[in-house]
Structure 1
């Protein structure tokens, strides 16, 4: 397939967005990991107190301003003049029970475990809400900006915007800008270019639609779809890569047999040629530490013992470890790797299997949800820049001491105590070799040139109301 001109479509009509995956919906929002389409639709129809802008920074949502006091233990939000979809004004008495419900559901979504410091949500006035915390959390706003914290009333289709759903059809879900109560209706006349047509579809169809100039944005791309994109050969100017912050690596999920010993787990980490693995995609750096940087830890990221050898010496060290295991037991180790089933998963499998075979390990590929897996690929974008998030998500089956240190970071009464606990957890988790870091999450989009507000960002998040230049 040849690539058309990167000039794309003229800047007229609704912005057509294809998100990779199933048709977006608001239903079943209690799942721990909402699909990309569901998150986009939820964020568009029901923004939270705050939200992310085009570059992944905090901007006003239902709250127009806020202050943080008491060393990060109290957040006070003033609501803007907003309306629910039925035209009734948004008031604190509506928002408070919605927030309490979301925070109280311990396993409701992927960010709920990081909201346990919230002690109370109270209405101070009809326009003011206070959130009090049992422990300081100066980084709480990025959690409240997540689509999982969007405000949607039970039994209602919509929240407070920034869009309204105007129709569903075979072509997708039509979204139009929500009315701004502060603007004169005679002056505010949205143009068709402010509308968004959102659809969910498999990667191949979404990419084809884009290269044929029938859509403006393909979003939600991961390493699993990357080979499909390469085969389509779109214009390079339209291919955009996010510098996504998060985890991409192999979690140890069964500490049995060969993986019962930390030294053997280190041998698995040593066997993988990261520079070769990450060369399958552009702008995808290799990583050897769990934390990408110091973040809010008291120490720089802990470098694992297995990484102290130069890369060219690591396969021999891993091979020696495997050989000792084979000599003691009469056969080499067999490890089951849980990977995605798409073409990108196959590409990863080819690299990982080659490297493991080279040191004497026999790998078997199994599905991502296979309960018999020994190692499972973790591919997660971080919701906020917090060391505990990285450590907790990497600790799938880690030692009790590491898990206790992560819990100590959660319960720390002061920021210095939390930083020390995070550093301890990083050290213990790294020494335990409970997670094999490979890189950062790989997230790509196809972006038409008319979408001048689209910006790559560490959250890999691109709200639908921040795609085109503001006509006002």
Structure 2
């Protein structure tokens, strides 16, 4: 697990002298934020933050990554986990019109329709029907029980809005729409005190900026922003070049996948033993230490047992010493009898350069010639860096199985379609073992997620989702 940076209370008091006045300035790493439909467009961090701030789903994440009410004020699970019934609160869309169940159902169906590009769609195949029961009550009927359904519904990609409006039912509104929109807490008649005069203080406003990591870090170091969101391994090396107080640097214990998906199963990679030898030959400790000393490496797909009936499956090479792993890979490459060249697709950034350098060194040691290519170029290996939206082993296995053999793919499908949770857990363990043998993925570490956080943002909390809603940064923000 990533080690959180800790310092004493006296240092905390002296490391950040920003006044607690005026709007919170947030620099999110990525393109300028814009309202977008997740069914049609993949969202980067700034646009996800904007969507989450201006449009609630049925439920949402609080500042600690826990489920809290969104458009649904309460819910029950019946029929042995096969039905979720949500009662909607008295809410208003951004144009002041009332939220009703038919509109919510229509938006959910839109996101889950065939042809949707919503990234959560492959993990919502258990949803059978979404129906209106009353003007304030909807039901989600499942084909198979899914205890993690609420965590999926809390993702920004399932935030809901009314067609023709900008944003949804809050919890914030865009009051000045520019490339860096100004957001303000929305007046909610269902939650506000009757005597509320609909006034907010400037400190409750948030200005959201989307920009490159280097610019965001410089802005924070100059005390021109209060929060840098969306940091990954790509730009972590830049932190050391800026005058950032250690107490302002925060790490999330993010759960997910960081490693290389094997995209082609021909040539040297056609043989499962060769794929396993390649995975074992990579010096993970050197890869992670090159980026951050305390970044812990990983040799297995699953971080924990999760919802499997068995502990995470370990690759066979995990029992070998580093020297034995290298020797085994060298033998495999020599026995192949032809030059082995592997193209590795990586995004741009200093962190990626450091990762590639260490991976390339490991491959050269065993006789493989590496070639770095762009993230969308044709390649044999492609970096995967994803935070898990919910705590199921099937998410890890499905995302690792970009290209899998028939046995591993069949085991994954069987686990997905299992009629009961007990059978699903058993089949997940079977699938995990199958993938450990098939080796479609080379795990390297857990995802590295960092933020820069001013002391005025007292409600910021590290969490496994690495998600920090803009309305949950200050104690006085609702």
The structure-2 alpha-carbon separation of the partners of 1:32 and 1:396, relative to structure 1 and needing over 3 Å to count, comes to farther
The structure-2 alpha-carbon separation of the partners of 1:32 and 1:378, relative to structure 1 and needing over 3 Å to count, comes to farther
In structure 1, runs of 5+ residues without a counterpart are none
Distance in 1 (alpha carbons) for counterparts of 2:431 and 2:41: 24
Q: Which of 199, 203, 223 in structure 2 is aligned with 1:193?
A: 203
Bigger mean CA deviation after superposition, 459-468 or 419-428: 419-428
| Cα offset, 1:107, TM superposition | 3.9
- Equivalent residue, structure 2, for 1:76: 85
Which secondary structure does the structure 2 equivalent of 1:71 belong to? Answer: coil
1:215 lines up with 2:225 in the alignment: yes
| Cα offset, 1:78, TM superposition | 1.0
How does 1:244-393 map onto structure 2 within 5 Å? 244-279=254-289, 280-325=291-336, 329=337, 331-371=338-378, 373-393=379-399
TM-score by length of 2: 0.94
The structure-2 alpha-carbon separation of the partners of 1:282 and 1:451, relative to structure 1 and needing over 3 Å to count, comes to farther
Q: Which of 179, 188, 191 in structure 1 is aligned with 2:187?
A: 179
1:34 lines up with 2:40 in the alignment: no
Q: Which of 144, 165, 173 in structure 2 is aligned with 1:164?
A: 173
| Cα offset, 1:374, TM superposition | 0.5
| Cα offset, 1:407, TM superposition | 0.9
| Cα offset, 1:397, TM superposition | 0.8
Report how many aligned residue pairs link the two structures: 463
Q: Which of 401, 412, 416 in structure 2 is aligned with 1:410?
A: 416
Which secondary structure does the structure 1 equivalent of 2:436 belong to? Answer: helix
Provide, for residues 24-71 of structure 1, a one-character-per-residue CA deviation record: whole Å limited to 9, x for no partner: 112353356421111111111111000001111100101111111122
Distance in 2 (alpha carbons) for counterparts of 1:27 and 1:390: 27
Distance in 1 (alpha carbons) for counterparts of 2:97 and 2:258: 44
Q: Which of 423, 428, 453 in structure 1 is aligned with 2:429?
A: 423
Distance in 2 (alpha carbons) for counterparts of 1:185 and 1:104: 43
In structure 2, runs of 5+ residues without a counterpart are 1-13
Provide, for residues 170-194 of structure 1, a one-character-per-residue CA deviation record: whole Å limited to 9, x for no partner: 6x11000011103225455211111
CA contact (8 A) 2:471 2:477 kept: no
1:99 lines up with 2:108 in the alignment: yes
The structure-2 alpha-carbon separation of the partners of 1:448 and 1:308, relative to structure 1 and needing over 3 Å to count, comes to same
Bigger mean CA deviation after superposition, 126-135 or 315-324: 315-324
Which secondary structure does the structure 2 equivalent of 1:425 belong to? Answer: helix
Provide, for residues 350-389 of structure 1, a one-character-per-residue CA deviation record: whole Å limited to 9, x for no partner: 1111111111111011111112x00111111101001111
| Cα offset, 1:307, TM superposition | 1.3
- Equivalent residue, structure 2, for 1:87: 96
